[in-house]
């Protein structure tokens, strides 16, 4: 029985994902005990990351065939409209303004992750860019499923509302669609490179959580 490409990628990165599931930021967020200043830091840093995702999907679409371009543009549209609208609402609940968030310099880890995604999308065929973007979408779905019981006992309304997005049928379907596009894409001959890209992006996902928990800043 042949495994799908995305299944192979997920298996290759499993040790990293297990560390993500058990990171204190993730555990405390879904338990409701995460200090609010850490969550605010995460949300503020997420702004530039969301903009980068929008740009990366647009880059992928500019080089892709119809099916891959369609999915990339669909995801770009989601990031530019629905996701940013939800982001704006969340900022207001946190007492933050978009104008202020836009002026915050991305942290070192965030800068490195965004540069990695952009470079991968610019310098490689479209499928490589999609593989680089996949860990973010997919890991959030698995995190939410992994900590569903914690979420059920979470008394922090804001955290619950944020997390519930990732257990919805619509979000799970989005992840499955993204996996299908990757699995059905053309030249997958260099699986080793695809695995390296997926693993590196997974490492950055872990580092983003770690950055947020430590509230990382530039040392200079």
| All structural domains of the chain with their residue ranges | 13-214
The confidence score (pLDDT) of residue 125 equals 92
The confidence score (pLDDT) of residue 7 equals 94
- The percent of residues in the chain predicted with pLDDT above 90, rounded, is 73
Q: What is the mean pLDDT of residues 24-44?
A: 97
Superfamily of domain 13-214: Heme oxygenase-like (1.20.910.10)
Q: Supply the pTM of this predicted model.
A: 0.94
The confidence score (pLDDT) of residue 1 equals 52
10 Å Cβ neighbour count for 73?
16
């Amino acid at each position: 029985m042949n495994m799908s490409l995305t299944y192979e990628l997920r298996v290759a990165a499993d040790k990293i994902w297990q560390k993500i599931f058990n990171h204190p930021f993730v555990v405390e967020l879904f338990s409701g005990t995460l200090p609010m200043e850490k969550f605010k830091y995460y949300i503020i840093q997420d702004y530039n990351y969301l903009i980068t995702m929008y740009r990366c999907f647009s880059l992928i679409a500019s080089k892709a065939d119809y099916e891959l371009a369609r999915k990339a543009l669909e995801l770009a549209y989601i990031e530019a409209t629905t996701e940013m609208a939800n982001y704006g609402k969340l900022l207001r609940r946190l007492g933050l303004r978009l104008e202020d968030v836009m002026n915050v310099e991305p942290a070192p880890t965030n800068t490195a992750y965004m540069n990695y995604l952009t470079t991968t999308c610019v310098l490689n065929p479209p499928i490589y860019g999609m593989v680089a973007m996949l860990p973010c979408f997919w890991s959030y779905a698995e995190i939410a499923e992994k900590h569903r019981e914690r979420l059920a006992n979470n008394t922090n309304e804001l955290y619950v509302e944020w997390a519930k997005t990732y257990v919805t049928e619509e979000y799970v379907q989005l992840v499955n669609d993204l996996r299908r596009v990757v699995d059905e894409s053309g030249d997958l001959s260099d699986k080793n490179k695809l695995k390296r890209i997926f693993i590196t992006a997974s490492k950055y996902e872990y580092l983003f959580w770690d950055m947020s928990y430590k509230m990382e800043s530039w040392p200079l």
